[in-house]
Amino acid sequence: MIPGLTVLENVREPQRQLPKDVSGLKIALKMTGGVGDSIMAIGGPARDLASRGAIITAITMKHAGELIQEMVGVEDWLESQKFNNPAVRSKYDVLIDFAGTFNTAKYLREEPYYELVSRRVGFGVVPGAFKFKHEPEGRRVAIHPGASNPNRRWDVKRWQQLAYEIRERDCEVVFLGTRDEPGFNDKGISKASDRDSNLLWQAKVLAKCCYFIGCDSGFVHIAGVLGVPGVVLFGNTSAKTVISSYPSLKGIEKFEGGLPTRSLTVGCKKSKENMQAITVGDVIAATPLAAVETNGRALQRPKEAEKMKIALVGVPNNEIVHFLKNRYEVVVYGNMPKHNDNDVLVVFSDEVWQLHTKSGKKYRVRQNQEDLVRAIREITGE
């Protein structure tokens, strides 16, 4: 034996296929992708298998854990990294790993997503359910402008215009998503993450909305499972594959040549062109709001603010630059400048990122894009 090597004897790996009789079996359903993928891969199978007597543990990334535990049939949850321990895996009878179910390395698959889940588990799967219900309160419309893949995002200014168009029809608007995703606060318009960015809390906010509008993202699947009526904008993916199992949702599609690109490559030009071909008028026309007269008040749109000037020194990769350029006016320095005339100067290093202001104050943040943007906003008072 090699000195220092730990040998786990008699460790049993769970089987990878479901037997016909699952009663009493401890079954792990594993999906380490995004929130939407986790809802589809785990929610439907969990409810079915639990109804047949199986004991279900969901294995996901940490950010999806709290929400997935609220799905009917899920008995327990475990973070994916902990499940990598052979001693932990041996406690389960069956493991169904959904890695690669919805996509290859570069493209999303063309078939309806719940059919792909059904093929993986070996029985027909329909959407699962949450332990909380859709119980709308008043005329509140939820908007989710974000998407994990930039190819599926709509222009920020159009989301802003859409919010005011909705408000003009005597509805409240709530923007869902993380703190670094688009959204703003105004009379009758609020950004949920300014109060709480917790995913489960925001899902429950959505459950109290009468309507939903968004791009192809995890919130689409939350809305679909809850049965919230709504529309989804498609330029990179299609309604046929994403939302065909959700009767409450319908798609708005604009594809050059009639087909979506399905590309996962960041910066797909055609996908972005398709998304921008969708207008605010297209979205309003697809909703029940098209039949509601506006209240006649002048739209109170905020003034266009100049972008904050952000300077970067020692940038670790082009992804950071692209990320910041979408939000600020960015200049990149090869070395530390003698004078800082920018609103914020960001100095990158291996351990932490330092932020310098015009006034000479310094701040330190972890190597995390969301923390970086949050710090910039706090410094500049955005």
The predicted-structure confidence for 218-276, as pLDDT tens digits, reads as follows: 999 999 999 999 999 999 999 999 999 999 999 999 998 788 999 999 889 999 999 99
- Catalogue the E-assigned strands of the chain: 26-31, 55-60, 74-79, 94-97, 140-144, 172-175, 189-191, 211-215, 230-234, 249-253, 309-313, 329-333, 344-348, 353-357, 362-365
- Mean of the per-residue pLDDT values of the chain: 88
The Cα 40–Cα 42 span in angstroms is 6
144 lies in the same domain as 117: no
- Among 239, 260, 291, residue at a domain's last position: 291
148 lies in the same domain as 283: yes
275 lies in the same domain as 212: yes
User: In the chain, helix, strand, coil percent, each to 5?
Assistant: 30, 20, 45
Would you place residue 295 in the very low, low, confident or very high pLDDT band (cuts 50, 70, 90)? low
DSSP string of 314-339, one letter each residue = S---HHHHHHHHTTSEEEEESS--SS
259 lies in the same domain as 164: yes
Residue 158 in domain: yes
236 lies in the same domain as 265: yes
Query: What pLDDT, on a 0 to 100 scale, did the predictor assign at position 294?
Result: 72
Question: CB of 48 within 8 A of CB of 73?
Answer: yes
Residue 9 in domain: no
Residue 101 in domain: yes
276 lies in the same domain as 321: no
Residue bearing tokens 């996509």:
103
Residue 5 in domain: no
Secondary structure (3-state) at 275: helix
Query: What pLDDT, on a 0 to 100 scale, did the predictor assign at position 379?
Result: 72
329 lies in the same domain as 244: no
Mean pLDDT to the nearest integer, 314-342: 75
Question: CB of 241 within 8 A of CB of 108?
Answer: yes
- Among 240, 262, 291, residue at a domain's last position: 291
238 lies in the same domain as 149: yes
Query: What pLDDT, on a 0 to 100 scale, did the predictor assign at position 38?
Result: 97
CA neighbor of 65 nearest in space, from 93, 30, 114: 30
Q: ∠ CA 19-25-30 to the nearest 5 degrees? A: 85
Residue 216 in domain: yes
Q: Is the pLDDT of residue 183 over 70?
A: yes
The Cα 129–Cα 289 span in angstroms is 28
Residue 72 in domain: yes
Residue 343 in domain: yes
Cα atoms in the Cβ-side hemisphere of radius 13 Å centred on 153: 16
Q: What percent of the chain has pLDDT over 90?
A: 67
313 lies in the same domain as 283: no
Residue 1 in domain: no
176 lies in the same domain as 96: no
Residue 76's domain comprises: 26-121
188 lies in the same domain as 270: yes
Would you place residue 303 in the very low, low, confident or very high pLDDT band (cuts 50, 70, 90)? very low
Query: What pLDDT, on a 0 to 100 scale, did the predictor assign at position 288?
Result: 93
Number of independent structural domains in the chain: 3
Would you place residue 125 in the very low, low, confident or very high pLDDT band (cuts 50, 70, 90)? very high
170 lies in the same domain as 285: yes
Query: What pLDDT, on a 0 to 100 scale, did the predictor assign at position 156?
Result: 92
